[in-house]
Structure 1
Amino acid sequence: MVWTLLGIMVILLLMGFPMMIPLIAGPLIIILFYMDNLDPTIMVQQMVEGISSYVLIAVPLFIFAADIMTSGRTSRKLLDFVGSFVGHLRGGYAITTAAACTLFGSISGSTQATVVAIGKPMRERLLKVGYKDSSAIALIINSSDVALLIPPSIGMIIYALVSDASVGDLFIAGIGPGVLIFIFFASYAYIHAKVYDIPLAPKVPWKERGDIFLKALLPLGFPVIIIGGIYTGQFTPTEAAGISVLYAFVLEVLIFRSIKLKEIPNIALSSGIVTSAVFVLVAGGQAFSWVISFARIPQMLTDAVLGNDPSALYILFIVALFFFIGCMFVDPIVVILILTPIFAPVATMAGVDPIHLGVVIVFQAALGSATPPFGVDIFTASAVFNKSYLDVIRGTPPYIIMLLIVSVLVIVFEDISLFLLRLF
């Protein structure tokens, strides 16, 4: 049964079908041929149940808010703000890129939106000061991975949906690893600029920095509203998503006037298309999870891979390996939907904190998003920058190595994820 399921899904993928087709067709065929005592319409029931969660309301709202900001001036103002303070340092433009990706990730929650919003303007600046194009693109796509870890991470929302973990706790727990990634990337940027003698940018006077800060003050309010609002009890994560849309609208349409009111329907349509794809994947993932659970495939797989009475640390490394490899080939949302129900129960029984497990899982999803052969951010960058696949991945090895090191640190030292949560 397992090999039949895998074979069907692989064949459909090789035939060029989008992931949602094998995700639904595989379990349906298993029901028809191996579980004839079940009514096939149960697939529909499970798919509807998969998208019925209140938590999912946050997904289209955060996507819509990110699309409004990507179309407006928010990303430019964040870039100018960070660049005015660190642009003159050794490797300052690269540090600016990593910091801006981190800041915009705390607003958008999407790695691909971050590649588009920060990548376009920063690539031009990096090339002007002497960076190779391959180094600039690699920095952009890997720095954008932080968006999947820090609030309002869509990956965290999907994991919370599957595991029943707290979205708010996951948002806080992702901040530590996200900041650690930035520290690694900033340190590498300094060393890289020194080795290759990248010219320094002119220092911005303090008066001008103050003006730039005032202009960036409103965009910087996004993470304060999202995190502060949730943890002061003013609103839930889902309500925070709605407020972020309103805030983005007021900022870009009424204050900055970078977007005309008549453009909003087209932006909403674009958000709706992305949301529909996400929701079909979530619905298919729920049906897939139910079928494999009914067939006891997770138990067979975990028994074969983990053996009897595995340690918590061993489980976390196995989880990281499976998710990392999976996200190298398939969209992270799909991998989270498929593999979380398999490993989460075993990890919880072994004493792994569900929030820490979620951070490890989403970290691997972020890492796999920018890792060859099929990381989704690679193809996003290829389309945005009009560069070939090989040009995009040429400069990625140093960043992948750094992300792997951080990944091991996060697995071994759970306080990197949980210390802020415990503090709150």
Structure 2
Amino acid sequence: MIIFLVSMLVIVVLLLAEIPVAFSFGVGALLFTFATGNNISFLVTHGFNTASGFALLALPLFILGGLIMAEGGISARLLDFVNSFVGRIRGGLGAVTVLTCALFGAISGSSSAAIAAIGQIMIPRMIKEGYPEGHATALVACSSVLALLIPPSIPMIIFSITGGLSVGAAFLSTIIPGILLTLVYCALNFWFLRKDMSIKVEPPLPFVDAARGIAKAGYNAGFALLMPVIILGAIYSGIATPTEAAAIAVIYAIPVSLMIYKGLTIRTLGTVTIRAVVMTGSIMAVLFFLFIMSRAMILEQVPKQLAEVLLGISDNKYLILLVINLLLLLIGMIVDDISGAVLAAIIFLPIVEALGIHPIHFAAVVGVNLGLGNVSPPCAPMLYMAGGVAKLPLNKYIVPTLKLLCLGHLPMVAIVTFIPELSLFLPRLLMGIE
């Protein structure tokens, strides 16, 4: 246990020193492995075999699909469609941003892709229309983590594979929390901006004209809106696995972006593919070292020892869940969502199973916590990415961000944690899990 804690401390120090995540986890994994005397050849083989599994093929495919959608005009069509409903209401562009991030999450499964695709369009647009620049940036950052909750979610795929759970059931567990959080962010956006007279609002259209605008935007966005139906329909109908559905998404996105929306060219497709390869390579390096460390931890019975420590504090499962929530929040602050998903499966899943907590319920708890951590300072990778898109210093958007998190995301963490039926209803209804 002491060696494990020292290894984790080394990882945290390296991350705070801005050493790349893969190298930080690599040093920590090797330190733990050599200090405990485990067979490095066996662990490397295990890490390679796990990282090269068929299920993980979904990772590069969803990354490639998300980047193609961002470049190919699909995200712009989604924005126009949502804008046709609420764009002429005060604060409407903010609601457009939130809803489009949720829709984009239902296609790409990536928070960073949502910021890249939606943030680059909506932050300048909101600022131009009179929105406070800090509010616009905070809204994009907080809404981007809806991609962790609205399936298909890349972190949920990683969490399920690492924990030996059903990917489909884990997807379903976060749908209701994701929809509720989407509605909460929309409501908070309208509330914060209700008295801001500097926001430009176009006059409302007559009903017939508004209906025509919605119909036209829906027609133009038809191929984009069809994507989540195809992806999720293929998975839950049993036609395709999540990995096969990811391949379908890429095969569908390429001709739509090239020939229908024409936002992508053969040249930019090559550039996007290279970006996807680089992003996938960096993630797989992190996962490789995490899989090595997870196997070494299991061999040393670290999860069992951690469970005994936490259960020794109290036998009240809600108190233990509260402690785990705080630890998950810290993990989410320090590392990216994918690394956090692996650590949650390795460290905490055995503990919650020992407490009698349903693992699919815990998948939803992990999803909402990692989302909160990814936009919570000090590290907050998604928050700083949105700030980079807006080209603003942290002090300009930190207060609006904290308002959204404290009034929106934090209560949702508590609701998901302490009301299991919220996350178990759909898996039980559609997949018959116990």
Report the TM-score, using the length of structure 1 for normalisation: 0.94
Whether 1:18 and 2:20 are equivalent positions in the alignment is yes
**407, 415, 428: which one aligns with 1:422:** 428
- Report the AA paired with residue 28 of structure 2: G
Q: Deviations over 1:176-214 (max 9, x none)?
A: 011000111111122122133444333352222211110
**Is 1:70–2:75 an aligned residue pair?**
no
What is the aligned partner in structure 1 of residue 151 from structure 2? 151
Q: Check the 8 A contact 1:81/1:209 in 2, yes or no.
A: yes
Q: Which residue in the other structure is 1:176 paired with?
A: 176
Q: How many residues align?
A: 422
Task: Kindly report which structure 2 residues correspond to 1:370-381, keeping only aligned pairs within 5 A, or say none.
Answer: 370-381=375-386
Which deviations, in whole Å up to 9, do the C-alpha atoms of 1:196-246 show, x marking residues without a partner? 344433335222221111001110011111111111222111110000001
CA distance in 2, matches of 1:14, 1:225: 41
What amino acid is the match of 1:169?
A
Deviation at 1:339, TM superposition (A): 3.2
Partner SS, residue 195 of structure 1: coil
Structure 1 residue 3 displacement after superposition? 4.1
Partner Cα distance (1:85, 1:44) in 2:
53
Task: State the alpha-carbon separation in 2 of the partners of residues 422 and 41 from structure 1.
Answer: 41
Counterpart of 1:321 (choices 322, 326, 331) is 326
Q: How many angstroms does 1:332 deviate by?
A: 2.1
Residue 300 (structure 2) aligns with: 295
Task: Say if 2:331 and 2:373, in contact at 8 Å, map to a contact too.
Answer: yes
Secondary structure of 1:254's match? Answer: helix
In 2, the alpha carbon distance for the partners of 1:225 and 1:138 equals 31
* Aligned-partner Cα distance in 1 for 2:52–2:173: 26
Separation (CA, whole Å) in 1 of partners of 2:332 and 2:343: 11
| Alpha-carbon separation, structure 2, partners of 1:261 and 1:235 | 28
- Out of 27, 30, 43, the position equivalent to 1:28 is 30
Distance change (3 Å), C-alpha of 1:8 and 1:261: same
| Structure 2: distance between partners of 1:311 and 1:22 | 35
Residue 225 (structure 1) aligns with = 230
Q: Give 3-state SS (helix, strand or coil) of 1:66's partner.
A: helix
Counterpart of 1:111, as a letter, is: S
Please give the alpha-carbon distance, in whole angstroms, between the structure 2 residues aligned to 1:186 and 1:31: 47
Partner residue in 2 for 1:126: 126
CA offset digits 1:299-319 (Å, max 9, x no partner): 222322332773443333222
Paired residue secondary structure (1:219): helix
Checking the alignment, whether the CA contact within 8 Å between 1:50 and 1:282 is kept in structure 2 is no
Q: For 2:281 and 2:171, locate their aligned partners in 1 and report how far apart those are by CA, in whole Å.
A: 24
CA distance in 2, matches of 1:279, 1:73: 28
Structure 1 residue matching 2:55: 3-state secondary structure = helix
Instruction: Provide the C-alpha distance between the structure 1 equivalents of 2:106 and 2:61, rounded to a whole number of angstroms.
Output: 15
**Counterpart in 2 of 1:352?**
357
What amino acid maps onto 2:341 in structure 1? I
1:341 paired residue number: 346
Contact 2:137–2:387 (8 Å) recurs in 1: no
Question: Relative to 1, partners in 2 of residues 1:72 and 1:342: Cα closer, same or farther, differing over 3 Å?
Answer: same
Residues 1:16 and 1:211: Cα distance change in structure 2 (over 3 Å): closer
Distance 1:387 1:292, change over 3 A: same
Instruction: For 1:261 and 1:116, locate their aligned partners in 2 and report how far apart those are by CA, in whole Å.
Output: 20
Q: 45-54 vs 401-410, which deviates more? A: 45-54
Once the 2 structures are TM-superposed, how far is the Cα of residue 147 of structure 1 from its aligned partner? 0.5
Deviates more, 1:113-122 or 1:124-133: 124-133
Aligned residue identity for 2:221: A
- Letter of the aligned partner of 2:203 in structure 1? P
Deviations along 1:289-342, whole A, 9 cap, x unmatched?
A: 112222222222232233277344333322221111111122222222123222
Give the 3 Å change call, closer, same or farther, for CA 209–346 of structure 1 in structure 2. same
- Which structure 2 residues correspond to residues 271-290 of structure 1 after superposition, within 5 A? 271-290=276-295
After TM superposition, list the pairs within 5 Å mapping 1:103-118 onto structure 2: 103-118=103-118
Partner residue, 2:58 = 58
Pairing of 1:179-194 with structure 2 (within 5 A):
179-194=179-194
The separation in 1 between residues aligned to 2:9 and 2:142, in whole angstroms, is 32
Q: Note closer, same or farther for the CA distance 1:122–1:16 as it changes in structure 2 (3 Å cut).
A: closer
One-letter amino acid matched to 2:23: I
Give the Å deviation of 1:59.
0.6
- Amino acid of the residue matched to residue 116 of structure 1? A
Does structure 2 conserve the Cα–Cα contact (< 8 Å) formed by 1:107 and 1:152? yes
CA distance in 2, matches of 1:7, 1:191: 42
Q: CA RMSD in A?
A: 1.8
**Unaligned 5+ runs, structure 1:** none
Equivalent position SS for 2:324: helix
Partner Cα distance (1:374, 1:15) in 2: 11
Partner of 2:204: 203
Query: Contact 1:68–1:248 (CA<8 Å) still a contact in 2?
Result: yes
Asked whether the equivalents of residues 22 and 285 of structure 2 are also in contact (C-alpha less than 8 Å), the reply is yes
Give the whole-Å Cα distance in 2 for the aligned partners of 1:139 and 1:89: 17
Cα offset, 1:133, TM superposition: 0.3
Per the normalisation by structure 2, the TM-score is 0.92
Distance 1:130 1:251, change over 3 A: same
Q: Cα offset for 1:170? A: 1.6
Matched, 1:162 2:162: yes
Cα offset, 1:54, TM superposition: 1.7
CA distance in 1, matches of 2:8, 2:57: 31
Percent sequence identity over aligned pairs:
32
Alpha carbons 1:360, 1:411 under 8 Å: kept: yes
Q: Distance in 1 between matches of 2:418 and 2:275?
A: 40
